[in-house]
C-alpha cells in the first residue's frame, strides 16, 4: 500500500544530469534499463535519450496518476515505456542491463522499510542480467 503521493510538480523538475549523475557514467547506447519508482518520468526520459538508438527503457511506478503524466510528457520518446507495477512484484526476469531505483531504496515507508526493501532488492536482482535469473 502506498503511504504517500509524490508531488508531480517537484518530480517534473528533476533531470538525469542534475539528480542522478552517477547513473550517467554507467549508461551506454544499446542498454536496456529498468527505472523503478519513475514517477513522472523526468529522469527516465533522460535515461532513454542516453541509451538511444538501440536501447530501451521501462519506467515503473505504482502511482497511475504519475504514470499518466509521464506518458503524456514523454510520448515522443520511442524507446521508452511506462508500466504500473509494485516494486515487490516486478516479474521481469533477466531483461535489463542495469536499473535505477533511487526513490525506492531511499523509501518513504518507515514501518515496512527493512522487510519491503529486502523483497524489492530480490526483485531488482532477478530483473537484471546476472546469470541467476531463476534464483
Model pLDDT for residues 57-95, shown as the tens digit of each residue: 999 999 999 999 999 999 999 999 999 998 878 888 888
Asked if CATH classification 3.40.50.620 holds for the domain at 8-127, the reply, yes or no, is: no
Overall average pLDDT of the 104-131 stretch: 52
How many CA atoms lie within 13 Å of 118's alpha carbon, on the beta-carbon side?
A: 3
With CA atoms as reference, report the closest residue to 67 among 44, 100, 88: 44
**What's the CA gap between 65 and 68, in Å, rounded?**
5
Question: Which residues, other chains included, contact 116 with Cβ-Cβ below 8 Å and sequence gap of 6+?
Answer: 88, 107, 109
Model pLDDT for residues 20-46, shown as the tens digit of each residue: 778 888 899 999 999 988 999 999 999
pTM of the model: 0.74
Domain ranges of the chain: 8-127
Give pLDDT, residue 102: 64
Amino acid at each position: 500500500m502506498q503511504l504517500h503521493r509524490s508531488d508531480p510538480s517537484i518530480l517534473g523538475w528533476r533531470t538525469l544530469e542534475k539528480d542522478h549523475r552517477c547513473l550517467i557514467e554507467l549508461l551506454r547506447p544499446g542498454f536496456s534499463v529498468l527505472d523503478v519508482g519513475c514517477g513522472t518520468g523526468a529522469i527516465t526520459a533522460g535515461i532513454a535519450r542516453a541509451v538511444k538508438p538501440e536501447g530501451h527503457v521501462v519506467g515503473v511506478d505504482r502511482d497511475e496518476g504519475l504514470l499518466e503524466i509521464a506518458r503524456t510528457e514523454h510520448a515522443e520518446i520511442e524507446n521508452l515505456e511506462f508500466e504500473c507495477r509494485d516494486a515487490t512484484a516486478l516479474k521481469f526476469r533477466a531483461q535489463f542491463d542495469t536499473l535505477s531505483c533511487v526513490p525506492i531504496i531511499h523509501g518513504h515507508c518507515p514501518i515496512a522499510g527493512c522487510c519491503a526493501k529486502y523483497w524489492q532488492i530480490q526483485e531488482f536482482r532477478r530483473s537484471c542480467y546476472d546469470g541467476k535469473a531463476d534464483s
